[in-house]
Amino acid sequence: MEFQYPWYLVCFILIPGLQLWHKKYGQFREGTITYSSEAFFSESLKNSGRYRIAFLRFIHLFILTLIVIALARPRLVDQLQQTSVDVIDMVLVLDISSSMLADDFSPNRLEVVKQTARDFISGRRGDRVGLLVFAGQSFIQCPLTVDLDVLQNLLKEVTIAPRDYDGTAIGMAIANATNRLRHSEAESKVMILLSDGSNNAGEIEPTTAADLAAEFDIRIYTIGAGTNQSYTRIPGRGLIRNEIDEETLMEIAEKTGGKYFRATDQTALTDIYNEINQLERSEIEVKEFTSHREIYGWFLIPAFLAGLGIETARNFIFRNRT
């Protein structure tokens, strides 16, 4: 509750002032009848008179209090908030070719990528996130969903592609993810593509697929995962050559308004996901509405009724005559 005209509450200081004035001066100006002795009146009669006077004085002060509060215009205030969030639709596109078993990330690239992706997903509450994996072919692991727990469970199940599907079809992966996002009505559509190799499979060139994504206003953040060494090792298979096509990944990001990152270890990869998380924060708009309900009538009407009642009592019950 608040008061529209709170300065009227200053009038409350008049109430004790009136009481003091009445005690010192006012009561001696009232009409009186002089008797030679109080002995002619019983105690009960005298007490009855005192109680009536005290009651009338209390009612007068009560009415005055109600009038002062009513003049200050009390009102009930309701604060309403309307929150709107610009949802982001996002697809994680992860390379699951055999080179992701390289142990330059401990225990291997794929497990580190999965762990950092899980941490990233946990911070995207409210957004729709999907998961697409690719090697020589691309596969939708999880369509766009707001149920991030389901997405996390499906991410845990991601493994290296079978030998028959090995390869790196970056262009096809982008095209497939674009197909998942192109009908989205979200203000922001984002793709995060992580690969540790160069495009060597599929019918669509990565840059051509990037042009297609740009047509649908899809931003692509690309991540090249792997150390700067010329060779790295896959346990049980020996050494493999690091073949990250940074030039193509940069071009993909540039064409779509995204950004390219290079992750040479787990810490760098975590930092990259944190940066993307900040770049793609949902915009939250909060509108506040205030409604006022006037309640001065709750005080003014009782004051009127009390005044009417006390005047009636004075004239017909207490037999007060002026």
Q: Which residues 6+ apart lie within 8 Å of 75 measured at CB?
A: 1, 2, 3, 4, 292, 293, 294, 295, 296
Out of 21-30, 188-197, 294-303, pick the least confident: 21-30
Contact criterion met (CB below 8 Å) for 307 and 61: no
User: Residue 317 has what pLDDT?
Assistant: 67
User: Residue 245 has what pLDDT?
Assistant: 92
The overall average pLDDT reported for the chain is: 85
* CA-to-CA dists, residue 114 to 31, 100, 192, 273, angstroms: 96, 11, 13, 12
At 101, the pLDDT band (50, 70, 90 cuts) reads very high
Percent of the chain with pLDDT over 70: 84
- Name the residue ranges covered by the structural domains of the chain: 2-27+44-79+291-316, 87-282
Residue 307, burial from CB neighbour count under 10 angstroms (0-12, 13-18, 19+) = middle
* Closest residue by Cα to residue 222 from 274, 187, 182, 262: 262
At 34, the pLDDT band (50, 70, 90 cuts) reads low
Residue 299 has pLDDT above 80, yes or no: yes
Condensed to tens digits (0 to 9), the pLDDT of residues 126-138 reads 889 999 999 999 9
Contact criterion met (CB below 8 Å) for 90 and 191: yes
At 72, the pLDDT band (50, 70, 90 cuts) reads confident
Contact criterion met (CB below 8 Å) for 278 and 120: no
Contact criterion met (CB below 8 Å) for 173 and 108: no
What are phi and psi for residue 317, nearest 5 degrees? -105, -50
At 68, the pLDDT band (50, 70, 90 cuts) reads confident
At 31, the pLDDT band (50, 70, 90 cuts) reads low
Assigned CATH class of 87-282: alpha beta
User: Residue 42 has what pLDDT?
Assistant: 64
Order the strands of the 74-85 sheet from edge to edge. 2-3, 74-85, 284-294
Q: What 3-state DSSP class applies to 312?
A: helix
At 238, the pLDDT band (50, 70, 90 cuts) reads confident
Q: How many residues does this entry show for the chain?
A: 322
Cα pseudo-dihedral 53, 57, 63, 67, rounded to 10: 150
Return the amino acid letter for 311.
E
Out of 30-44, 99-113, 250-264, pick the least confident: 30-44
- Please give, one letter per residue, the 3-state secondary structure of 59-105: HHHHHHHHHHHHHCCEEEEEEEEEEEECCEEEEEEEECCHHHHCCCC
Out of 104-118, 164-178, 205-219, 227-241, pick the least confident: 227-241
User: Residue 25 has what pLDDT?
Assistant: 66
CA distance 286 to 284: 6
User: Residue 150 has what pLDDT?
Assistant: 96
Long-range contacts of 296-303, Cβ-Cβ distance < 8 Å, separation of 24 or more: 296/69, 296/70, 296/71, 296/72, 296/73, 296/74, 296/75, 297/70, 298/74, 299/66, 299/67, 299/69, 299/70, 299/74, 300/66, 300/67, 300/70, 302/66, 303/63, 303/66, 303/67, 303/70
User: Residue 175 has what pLDDT?
Assistant: 97
User: Residue 45 has what pLDDT?
Assistant: 61
Residue 40 has pLDDT above 80, yes or no: no
DSSP-assigned letter for residue 319: -
Which residue in the block uniquely carries the two structure tokens 């297609």?
212
At 33, the pLDDT band (50, 70, 90 cuts) reads low
Bridge pairing between strands 88-95 and 188-195: parallel
Instruction: Specify the pTM.
Output: 0.65
Average pLDDT for 203-224: 96
303/292: higher pLDDT: 303
Contact criterion met (CB below 8 Å) for 120 and 273: yes
CA distance 246 to 259: 12
* Closest residue by Cα to residue 195 from 89, 110, 131: 110
